Amino acid sequence: MAADSRTIIAPTDAELLQAQADLWRHSLYYLTSMALKCAVELHIPTAIHKLGGAASLPDLVTALSLPQTKLPFLRRLMRLLVTSGIFASDSGAEVETYRLNPLSWLLVEGVEAENHTYQKYFVLATVSRHYLEAASSLADWFKKDLPVPIPSPFEEQHGVPLVHEKTKLLDEELDRIVNEGVAAHDNLAIGTIIRECGDIFRGVQSLTDCGGGDGTTVRGIIKAFPHIKCTVLDLPKVIENAPPHDSVTYVAGDMFHSIPPAQAVMIKLLLHFFSDEDCVKILEQCKKAIPSKEEGGKVIIIEIVVDPSLGPIMYEAQLLMDLLMMVNIRGRQRDENDWREIFMKAGFSDYKIVKKIGARGVIEVYP
Ligand SMILES: C[S@@+](CC[C@H](N)C(=O)[O-])C[C@H]1O[C@@H](n2cnc3c(N)ncnc32)[C@H](O)[C@@H]1O
């Protein structure tokens, strides 16, 4: 049915002009992503870091070994990146100077700090040709009546799933970048979690980190809580390459089949890769692995909890991460209601969101 023109309030001139500018922004935001990709590929953050954390445009051109003729173009690139919050600048200074901010600090190579994870590969994966092609096919994907479980647009477009052993058959370099990118994105440092809500580990005698990768997280936990007996469960190919540690038991296995018993099971940045049905299956295994609530049994989940009350920027970041999952993987980001439904379906009696840490939440789930 045609829209009833009487129900549409005619925009004012000012509103129309603003709407046009907003349309430009939303249609052209891909250029911000490409400018970020360019900064990463030129190693601009590392160059500014090596120049002492601040650099003038001529210094930057020299440090990056760019032709002098590119200086005015670099100025335009940096102006957009500063406005987008990727770098800082000394506005009003006699000589135009660009500085690192916390975001560009994450793109500096070779920083040795507990809370620094080099994010180059997260950027390169998300702007890769394969991701962009999958995102461009979204409308066609919506129109197709695909059989359940519905493949992601990425899978439909490229014929293989992402973050999967078959991904390298599509493109070995993409597979490498994606694995590095996932590792970087997932490496929310355990130090931050311990500082923000370390109480979740107090009173815990034993802990299994389900999908715990190479054990980085549990090594951080043991450092702060040496009494906790820690086990890491992951796939055989991951456990084979995990560095040995006196206080960590490594178990090669499949969380869909069984999880090593402990007073608490932790699942950090893993469930968003999986469908609701698979999350229920994984959590059912978690429940079998822990004792009753009275005996201190619990599952600790660290994942995004989509929540508009975190403010428009954080909420937008969460929704973009959800679309990233929708386009490329069969997983999703979840709000509190989604999480509650999964916990109840898996047979848990109660849960508590202990704390929101940035875009993520720390949840305790009780049997
Ligand atoms: C995205 S990473 C998260 C790693 C870690 N929890 C962290 O926070 O850094 C997901 C981990 O789950 C592991 N994984 C995937 N499927 C699994 C399965 N069926 N059983 C056990 N581990 C699995 C992967 O090998 C990978 O190490």
Provide the annotated active-site residues.
272
Query: Could you tell me which CATH number the domain at 26-111 has?
Result: 1.10.10.10
Provide block-wise average pLDDT over 10 residues at a time, the chain (367 residues): 63 95 98 98 98 96 98 97 96 85 94 84 95 97 96 96 91 92 74 92 96 92 95 94 91 97 97 96 98 96 97 97 96 98 98 95 97
Tokens of 118: 């080099």
Burial of 247 (0-12, 13-18, 19+ CB in 10 A): middle
Closest to 321 in 3D by CA, of 181, 137, 166: 181
CA-nearest residue, atom 2 of ligand 1: 270
CA-nearest residue, atom 15 of ligand 1: 211
Rounded distance between C-alpha atoms, residue 180 and residue 168, angstroms: 13
Residues of the chain with CATH 1.10.10.10: 26-111
CA-nearest residue, atom 11 of ligand 1: 211
Q: In what order do the strands lie in the sheet with 97-99?
A: 54-56, 97-99, 88-89
Tokens of 23: 């349309």
Rounded distance between C-alpha atoms, residue 298 and residue 351, angstroms: 9
117 in Cβ contact with 190 (< 8 Å)? no
Query: What is the DSSP annotation of 74-127?
Result: HHHHHHHHHHTTSSEE-TT-SS-EEE--HHHHTT-TT---TT----HHHHHHHT
186 lines ligand 1 (CB under 6 A): yes
Q: Which residues does 185 contact at the CB level (< 8 Å), separation at least 6?
A: 119, 122, 269
Q: What is the pLDDT of residues 279-331, one digit of tens each?
A: 999 999 999 999 999 999 999 999 999 999 999 999 999 999 999 999 999 99
CA 115 vs CA 48, 121, 217, 271: distances in Å: 20, 17, 12, 23
155 lines ligand 1 (CB under 6 A): no
287 in Cβ contact with 297 (< 8 Å)? no
303 lines ligand 1 (CB under 6 A): no
236 lines ligand 1 (CB under 6 A): no
Q: Rounded to the nearest whole angstrom, what is the distance from the C-alpha of residue 330 to the centroid of ligand 1?
A: 15
Report ipTM for this prediction. 0.99
Q: Rounded to the nearest whole angstrom, what is the distance from the C-alpha of residue 273 to the centroid of ligand 1?
A: 9
165 lines ligand 1 (CB under 6 A): no
Per-position b or e across 284-312, b if 16+ CB within 10 A of its CB: ebbbebbeeeeeebbbbbbbbbbbeebee
Please calculate the CA angle 215-218-221 and round it to the nearest 5 degrees: 155
Residues of the chain with CATH 3.40.50.150: 189-366
- Tell me whether the omega of the peptide bond preceding residue 67 falls within 30 degrees of 0, making it cis: no
272 lines ligand 1 (CB under 6 A): no
Query: Could you tell me which CATH number the domain at 189-366 has?
Result: 3.40.50.150
Q: Which residues does 116 contact at the CB level (< 8 Å), separation at least 6?
A: 105, 106, 108
248 in Cβ contact with 230 (< 8 Å)? yes
Q: What pLDDT does 114 receive?
A: 75
CA-nearest residue, atom 18 of ligand 1: 254
Q: What pLDDT does 271 receive?
A: 97
* Closest atom of ligand 1 relative to the 238 alpha carbon: 25
